[in-house]
Structure 1
């Protein structure tokens, strides 16, 4: 019997040894434009006196409005905004290559790039906020390249980001019908289920707004706009609109009737009604890139009087704590933040923390950057903040205590799919159930964006609202969208 067990173990390791090379042998090294790395927005290390090639996809202007804090332009072609941050370590260079230049580089490594990065100085604080920065637009679509070069004699840790209205750094999921999606027999399928309550959602940024329930009935189109949400009593919907005639923050009855504008703003996002139903918090764009500023606003529904709570530079996805005074939001630069609606400076709920060893300085240095976060929302009891965060090549749902601390993971990758079959699953746009016991979110685990619920401890994952996603295609752009909201 012992011999049989031993032979069984040998067989397992042999199978694993045969499978692993097929998965990892072709992993990119970043050594050339033929072998570029993905831009993940996370910290990585570059060897001394070497270069790493990273790719990003760029498309021409689609005519759609510009969204997001760092994604934008004032006029002309949409911009690709590239930053390198190395906690002040010098000796790095950033070069940008077009597709044609990359081909030429393969024949002649002396081929000049279309642009080079320089330090980015914040005009408000007169300080360097990015070690290297480049911004520009291109005349045609294609795969472009950012090359980071380390001219030091020691390794350097850095974070590379590429953002823009028409920039794609992580390949979007390719919709495939669920029955044809390859799922190994070792993977436990996600069960389907139903949830109680009613839902308001958008099919795309600026698209159609629907209401629905999870009883198999057909969703009902009630309006159009951005980031819909429910009033506390579930009788009204709140949303933003960016059209050319009357952009701003809107309220309407749940069936779309009696629609009216509450506050006029050319670039408002993520409106949400206060617990007592008298005010609406939202974020609005104050400045465009490269000095993008998004600030919070609180408007009194009856009087239209605007209050602007203190917040950081890029204030997205605001939500009300149960006290009706504290507002939680996320800032891609600082992490999860909170502020008082009337007075006082904002404070960090979850920001960069910990130390790393800087080999160039031969010293321990504080970590100054978080992986990008988005779509923060406080729970109904005010104890936890759910949000999404990048994890190398995908997004996951996390939460953090409202009083502060480190993130706690909620969703996770399937190990078999991730390691052996190179399948990455992204999850995003989290919202809490009315009782705070579940998180509703989007995921592309079936090859297209669909809705799922999960308990905050990561258990009880199930697919819901199939009556919605079987009939309506949900478009998700990773631009701080409030895709759906849940009411009793």
Structure 2
């Protein structure tokens, strides 16, 4: 036996959650002798770290991601040279060498059947590959009792329901479609806030480069069509229930830049002596203090105005919607009523009746955020909520009653993490948001959970979460139970997500 041990420090968290198979051209197979038992989160993440490393050996397009598993200065050239080209692997055995401390995955590599052992340990609350062992004498063929690895695409995932998802990797990033069972992944285009049409055949989205523009495209990537342009920062397009109209938000007017205000204390005293009104400090002002020059100082953030507009696809007509507010974000059309849509204002959510041209408040909490999703039967809302310094997912009835929190970080996770200064700030576009989840070297106390999307039958919700150290698509029951990775089959391996908290629609499911 020839042992080569690498002590590796990952600079980000585990890239791959427990996978039964990995994407084409690789298929990872579990040994049939491994019993199915209820596993701890540490077991899942420890094994996922090993499998992520193995997958990086088999996927040429993931070479750049292999560095995520290696500490600076660590070289694996010798191992890669000895292994040659790897096209697949089969896991023969996996389990704890030292309970909750050292996890071992033994696998056969293809072609040739070379045996490899990968060891993982927990460092600073993250599971990392800290050893690799090559076993001589097995290169002539597959290990006894094993089956050859056959190259294949990701296998279907049971329990995800039906339909098709469209998702964006980040606001303005690549747009993909995938079947709910984790098969059929296809990159379609790039843009912002994609949404599937009611019949599931088209996608609506916007782009900001080279100009602000509204598009539709077929789910197979054909027939991309531009419908409208030249409204600033168009985003959050949404289909009417009958598929004939599209509503979107756009920015126009208001204060696009912040303003630093300073007043000398002597000036303020003179004002008071003259009986003049004192300086008004806005409610959203930040950094209120007396500076080193003995001045009252505070910063007034941007206050951009956002509006809603409608395109009639059958008539080619445009019109602005009079919602009664200058703050209109993240519209989402009612799935059964073509005259109603929900949107986020500056003081919570509201329902707009396009026929009556009036808005009615649904909630009065400015921490309610988009993208807002209405259940297929139109009875409930799912949304992102700013809570305890992070994002959570709430649901409520369409009238705002019966609010329920679906996601929450377990107390034992909070206790084992470091506190992070998760500063709230206003973006240049006027969005109230916060620093990105899990920045380098600053693990958050709590998980972020955001951007929900209902399944076609309303029984499940897909959402974004960073609980493993990176943003991933997970799924849960509509009551918040059974939260799990949506695509553990490796279908999205190598795709990186980023949720920025600017009311972006990450997922649409029909």
Could you tell me how far apart the structure 2 residues matched to 1:483 and 1:178 are?
Answer: 33
| Structure number with larger C-alpha Rg | 2
Could you tell me how far apart the structure 1 residues matched to 2:405 and 2:197 are?
Answer: 29
| 8 Å CA contact retained: 1:213, 1:465 | no
| 8 Å CA contact retained: 1:309, 1:340 | no
**Aligned match of 2:220:** 255
State which of 382, 390, 398 in structure 1 corresponds to 2:378: 382
Shift of 1:421: 3.8
Say if 2:399 is the partner of 1:403: yes
**Aligned match of 1:351:** 364
Say if 2:327 is the partner of 1:305: no
**Aligned match of 1:451:** 473
Shift of 1:371: 3.0
Say if 2:315 is the partner of 1:292: no
Could you tell me how far apart the structure 1 residues matched to 2:354 and 2:121 are?
Answer: 45
Unaligned runs of 5+ in 1: 1-176, 185-190, 353-369
Could you tell me how far apart the structure 2 residues matched to 1:295 and 1:446 are?
Answer: 36
Shift of 1:406: 5.6
Secondary structure of the equivalent of 2:321? coil
| 8 Å CA contact retained: 2:162, 2:456 | no
Q: 1:232 to 1:372 in 2, by over 3 A?
A: closer
**Aligned match of 1:424:** 446
Could you tell me how far apart the structure 2 residues matched to 1:216 and 1:381 are?
Answer: 25
Q: Which moved more, 1:378-387 or 1:467-476?
A: 467-476
Could you tell me how far apart the structure 2 residues matched to 1:259 and 1:212 are?
Answer: 18
Shift of 1:216: 4.7
Q: 1:194 to 1:345 in 2, by over 3 A?
A: closer
Number of equivalent positions: 286
State which of 321, 324, 337 in structure 1 corresponds to 2:338: 324
| 8 Å CA contact retained: 2:125, 2:416 | no
Shift of 1:430: 0.9
The Cα offsets for residues 240-286 of structure 1, whole Å up to 9 and x where unpaired, read as 111124x3211111112111112223321111111111111111112
**Aligned match of 2:500:** 477
Secondary structure of the equivalent of 1:418? helix
Shift of 1:451: 0.9
**Aligned match of 2:367:** 371
Q: 1:216 to 1:386 in 2, by over 3 A?
A: closer
Question: When the two structures are superposed, what TM-score results if normalisation uses the length of structure 1?
Answer: 0.55
**Aligned match of 2:328:** 315
| 8 Å CA contact retained: 1:198, 1:214 | yes
The Cα offsets for residues 159-200 of structure 1, whole Å up to 9 and x where unpaired, read as xxxxxxxxxxxxxxxxxx99878379xxxxxx9964432111
Unaligned runs of 5+ in 2: 1-119, 128-156, 257-301, 419-444
| 8 Å CA contact retained: 2:174, 2:189 | yes
The Cα offsets for residues 136-163 of structure 1, whole Å up to 9 and x where unpaired, read as xxxxxxxxxxxxxxxxxxxxxxxxxxxx
Shift of 1:215: 4.3
| 8 Å CA contact retained: 2:372, 2:383 | yes
Secondary structure of the equivalent of 1:276? coil
Could you tell me how far apart the structure 1 residues matched to 2:342 and 2:388 are?
Answer: 25
Could you tell me how far apart the structure 2 residues matched to 1:276 and 1:475 are?
Answer: 32
Could you tell me how far apart the structure 1 residues matched to 2:500 and 2:343 are?
Answer: 19
**Aligned match of 1:182:** 125
Could you tell me how far apart the structure 2 residues matched to 1:388 and 1:313 are?
Answer: 21
Aligned-pair RMSD on alpha carbons?
2.5
Secondary structure of the equivalent of 2:252? strand
**Aligned match of 1:99:** none
Q: 1:337 to 1:181 in 2, by over 3 A?
A: farther
Could you tell me how far apart the structure 1 residues matched to 2:190 and 2:348 are?
Answer: 30
Could you tell me how far apart the structure 2 residues matched to 1:377 and 1:323 are?
Answer: 14
Could you tell me how far apart the structure 2 residues matched to 1:483 and 1:327 are?
Answer: 19
Shift of 1:434: 1.1
**Aligned match of 2:248:** 282
**Aligned match of 2:175:** 209
The Cα offsets for residues 331-362 of structure 1, whole Å up to 9 and x where unpaired, read as 2x21111111233331110114xxxxxxxxxx
Q: 1:217 to 1:371 in 2, by over 3 A?
A: closer
